[in-house]
Structure 1
């Protein structure tokens, strides 16, 4: 990492250490801390060029911030707004510039696209269909929708749009179901399939951060938990298990950093999803009974691992994509 990237990572980590409170955030009506989101925007973690009011950060810097958010499981609109911003940047249009300036100012944006096989149809720039599991879909001030052919801007407050919060096992991730019924839309330009790769790369970075923190918490716990007069971390069998967790985290980080194209993005999604779930499951096992109590964060990491593994397509879905490339 460059000195600038290290400084950005440290700034985000310091912010989250001082202000991130998972349980307080998920208990708010909107499910995230608005002050933390505003501070993240001030730091400049969104990948928006300076000509649109952004800090000029690239996707590499945004992924560093997402890794830090993953470490603390901080509920945040950054993932959704990043994907929406990159979709707009794939176009060359003044409408895109207008929306990017709003995102740079802190407006929550989201992109609804048929990654789960849903069908959204467009007739005369009016949209019909249902898209599930839309990131921050019920909160977004900027709503972008793709039918797989074009990218549209949709007024989220019009009568033809219904947005329902979708409760899931992972309370740290805000998802919604979007219903479109003859909803008027503004066509912004052609849809770029590369946006899926961006989404997978960003999600993989977040998964790596969460897996790394799960490992750290487990190691810390095994140094203090005593059985038979010794810290359980001194037992050889547990040392081997934590060594395996370390290998999973580091290889997942390598996979996430290696994303450059469609194939490497799919590989990262598969490997990081499975590595994070294994590390989170081991975290619960090695913490024992305390891990399944509400007071401890272990169960939150396991739930995030399960949910993020299915987001944007399960590992099985992306393995099929990879087989088709062979």
Structure 2
């Protein structure tokens, strides 16, 4: 692993930090979260058009930049520093990869270019508070029971004349109240032969009702969606394996979330160090007391360790995705060659030719994303807590910025954790306790 960043990656971070410093200060942040959408649409347009943020990890064939998950994670680190309320996570991290992996050629061509340009925002709707399970971060349910199991609850899909219809309700959908497009995980086939399939629902579809919910973290707006005989389009075909796709998506999402949490932790720690250097008590700066130095040093070490873990997770995800792409290309070449092979002599040659080695199965659980996310969330919670305490009385006021960082850590744990379950799932996947017991 080469831990050095390229010039292009450094430029992405520098440009994005400069822009967010100018456009996403405390006053702009509060104004954005108070809007119905929960984010500054003008800022999002600038991020998309000037920096190509939603296009970073999309192929150039669909209007993307053609970068990898590493660049997307670096961008998330900078948006995390500013707690910028944008549709980046819901659109570019959680939804666009699913469209790319599962969509038909026509669906990708129709949806990915407007996502890359920032004109189309999207959200992933997973029934109940099961997003972490669906992404295989705190467990991997290979039967999709998190989506309702075919019983009442969740979202049900049935065939109708001219397509599909969806029924049900989904809570806690990130940007679900404002996204132009929803990707909804729904059950089909009733209870006996139930399975989970992904569906596309337009934001203005008939029978769709949406409302913004009150969330612990106001910078991470969530919505409730209700589906009543709502027309939907199947994403891909009925043969798609959405559970595996979601599990693989989970590793990319965890790496981006970890980088985002690291950016937030670094920023709140930076502000705390600056404050204790100028705040005086007993005639000397608070930061000069050894006990305060020790606390901040411990938090700094924790943040730097979390940063290393987040960068490694992003790198590992990029390498795994590259290996998957190479395996898919090799399979396609072999299929084309097989179709072009005709005649008895060619059949005999093909029969004795060595078969291409199958790509090694990449279990979604055997990844670094979950552990990196656990470490980053813990570092953010620690840095934010120290910030609140070391700011003294002003730090305990509800309006102080340190509370926003603490709420981000707590809110992300509710959505994607908690930390102990992230670590427990990683340990189970690696069979740590089984090996220790032998």
Category of TM-score, reference length = shorter chain: over 0.9
2:37 is matched with: 30
How many residues are paired up? 326
2:64 pairs with 1:54: yes
Question: Alpha-carbon deviation of 1:250?
Answer: 0.9
Relative contact order (C-alpha < 8 Å, sep 6+): which is higher? 2
2:253 is matched with: 199
Decide whether aligned partners of structure 1 residues 180 and 104 sit closer, same or farther in structure 2, where only a CA change above 3 A counts: same
2:368 is matched with: 264
Deviations 1:120-161 (A, max 9, x none): 333323333322211110000011112373322112222332
From 89, 102, 109, the equivalent of 1:79 is 89
2:46 pairs with 1:39: yes
1:140 is matched with: 179
> C-alpha distance in 1, partners of 2:409/2:416?
13
Question: Alpha-carbon deviation of 1:294?
Answer: 4.8
Give the structure-2-normalised TM-score.
Answer: 0.71
4+ aligned runs moved over 4 Å, structure 1? none
Judge which range, 137-146 or 107-116, deviates more.
107-116
Decide whether aligned partners of structure 1 residues 110 and 169 sit closer, same or farther in structure 2, where only a CA change above 3 A counts: same
Contiguous gaps of at least 5 residues in structure 2: 132-145, 149-154, 187-194, 317-363, 432-438
Contiguous gaps of at least 5 residues in structure 1: none
Deviations 1:42-92 (A, max 9, x none): 211222222111222322112111111110111111111112111112135
Decide whether aligned partners of structure 1 residues 102 and 258 sit closer, same or farther in structure 2, where only a CA change above 3 A counts: same
2:1 pairs with 1:11: no
2:170 is matched with: 131
> C-alpha distance in 2, partners of 1:63/1:50?
19
2:356 is matched with: none
> C-alpha distance in 2, partners of 1:143/1:312?
20
Larger Rg: 2
> C-alpha distance in 2, partners of 1:40/1:175?
21
Judge which range, 54-63 or 207-216, deviates more.
54-63
Deviations 1:278-325 (A, max 9, x none): 111111111111113355311111111111122234224323422432
From 292, 298, 302, the equivalent of 2:406 is 302
> C-alpha distance in 1, partners of 2:270/2:171?
34
Corresponding residue SS for 1:199: helix
Deviations 1:221-271 (A, max 9, x none): 110011111111111111000011111111111221222363312212222
1:153 is matched with: 200
> C-alpha distance in 2, partners of 1:58/1:86?
11
> C-alpha distance in 2, partners of 1:35/1:308?
25
1:172 is matched with: 219
Corresponding residue SS for 1:126: strand
Q: Are the equivalent residues in 1 in contact too, given 2:384–2:406 (CA < 8 A)?
A: yes
